[in-house]
Amino acid sequence: MGGTSEGKGNSNLMGEFNFHCDPEAAFVVFHHKGIRHPIQLVSWEATVNCAMPWRFYDDWVNRRETSEGFKSVCQNRSQMFIEKMFQRLEVFTRPDEDGTRADTGDAEATQDITCVIPDAVAMLVALYPESLVDSFLTYVTIEMRGRETRGATCIDWYGTDQSMAKKGRWRNCNVVTKVNPDIFLDVMRRIVDYPL
């Protein structure tokens, strides 16, 4: 998981957090001479479009409306662990009851009323290939020097094999642009049902 497919950064104007933090490492991965197969890239936008509604999250961790407000009840170990892991995400991205949100800057602007779990979406694509709805094979590189674009994912949207060959490029990446949200939520639901 990393990068953007539409240039909608969550760390700077165009960079996704992972690639913005270390664009040199991302560049090495995409240009390594030992790559035999294209890299599968699950972009930030694909994960935002496959987000978990906060209502689903409440059910997922077994949170219920009680006389004392919303409380977690009868949780199994998985649910307790998930709720602890997601505390910070919830504080920074979940809107209050009145619809207002914490002022967390631009990074969470895309998270509106949903719980975005990028790494889980990437794992879903790896473990359940049938969850992949749309992707395309092309050349991808990473911007390392731009003042406003450091870490941006640079995608050759229109390159033909011939034009890529002239520039010494090859289709090194399968860019995932859409993942089935129903499969994602079903798999997430099953995680908490698994006995530990």
**DSSP string over the chain:** --S-SSS--SSSSSB-HHHHH-HHHHHHHHH-TT--SPEEEE-HHHHHTTPEEHHHHHHHTTEEEETTEEEE-S--HHHHHHHHHTHHHHHHHSPPTTS------STTGGGTTEE--HHHHHHHHHH-GGGEEEEEEE-EEE--S-TTTTTBEEE-SS--HHHHHHTT----EEEEEEE-HHHHHHHHHHHHHS--
Cβ-defined contacts of 57-62 (< 8 Å, 24+):
57/86, 57/90, 57/115, 60/188, 60/189, 60/192, 61/86, 61/192, 62/192
Residues 77 and 29 in one domain: no
Question: What are 65-93's pLDDT values in tens digits?
Answer: 888 878 899 999 999 999 999 998 888 78
Centroid of chain to Cα 14 = 15
Residues 44 and 64 in one domain: no
* Mean pLDDT for the stretch of residues 36-59: 95
Residues 77 and 34 in one domain: no
Domain ends where: 114, 132, 164?
114
The domain that contains 168 carries what CATH number? 3.90.245.10
Residues 101 and 130 in one domain: no
Residues in the chain, overall count: 196
Residues 40 and 105 in one domain: no
Supply the range of the domain harboring residue 154: 1-51+116-196
Percent of the chain with pLDDT over 90: 73
Residues 85 and 98 in one domain: yes
Is this prediction's pTM over 0.85?
Answer: yes
Residues 180 and 131 in one domain: yes
pLDDT band at 110 (very low <50, low <70, confident <90, very high): low
Kindly calculate the radius of gyration of the chain based on its CA atoms and give it in whole angstroms: 19
Q: What is the pLDDT of residue 106?
A: 52
